[in-house]
Amino acid sequence: MAATLWDDTDCRAILSRLERLTPDAAPRWGRMNASRMVVHVTDALRMATGELRCTASRGPLMLPIVKQVVMFYLPWPRGIPTSPELLSRRPDQWTNEMAGLRAAIEEFVSKSRIDTWPSHPRFGHLSGLEWGRFMYRHLNHHLTQFGV
């Protein structure tokens, strides 16, 4: 089965990789520094739980077959544009941001059994299964970006 934050082993692996991330880690690609990336993925988790709203943009990613292929099979390209709301918050102190990210992951995982999820701004409606997969891939993408 594909890796997902709903799987305890997969989630622990992500948390373990987070522990190796440092504020001075250099990105392998992109313009974000480590602090901005932590804020970005935290806010993406907040979006997934409905705490943060992002403006939707219609496009081919909302088509069911395209969504499934991107969600489960294709490698993620680098430098994909994101919702402005996921880049707008300025980082606080590193320890505060890391604690906030761990809390956001815990909050997201605690909702694994809910039936109704917010829409994703690019993919539209996602099931709980799809959200778990998406958030795993999103965190994995950015941790790989910073070499952890």
- pLDDT tens, 22-48? 999 999 999 999 999 999 999 999 989
pLDDT (tens digit per residue) in 59-110: 666 567 777 777 777 787 787 766 666 566 777 899 999 999 999 999 999 9
Global pTM reads: 0.87
Tell whether the model's pLDDT for residue 4 goes beyond 90. Answer: yes
Cβ–Cβ contacts within 10 Å for residue 36, how many? 17
pLDDT of residue 123: 80
Q: Mapping DSSP to helix (H, G, I), strand (E, B) and coil, where does residue 124 land?
A: strand
Q: Give the domains, in start order, of the chain with CATH numbers.
A: 8-145 (1.20.120)
Q: Mapping DSSP to helix (H, G, I), strand (E, B) and coil, where does residue 120 land?
A: strand
**Alpha helices per DSSP H over 1-148:** 8-19, 34-48, 64-72, 94-110, 128-145
How far is 131 from 51, CA to CA, in rounded Å? Answer: 15
How far is 25 from 121, CA to CA, in rounded Å? Answer: 29
Q: How confident is the model at residue 53 (pLDDT cuts 50, 70, 90)?
A: confident
- Give the CA distances from residue 124 to residues 48, 59, 72, 82, 127, in Å, rounded to whole numbers and listed in that order: 12, 9, 16, 14, 10
Angle, helices 34-48/94-110, rounded to nearest 10 degrees: 30
Summarize the chain as % helix, strand, coil (round to 5). Answer: 50, 0, 45
pLDDT of residue 115: 79
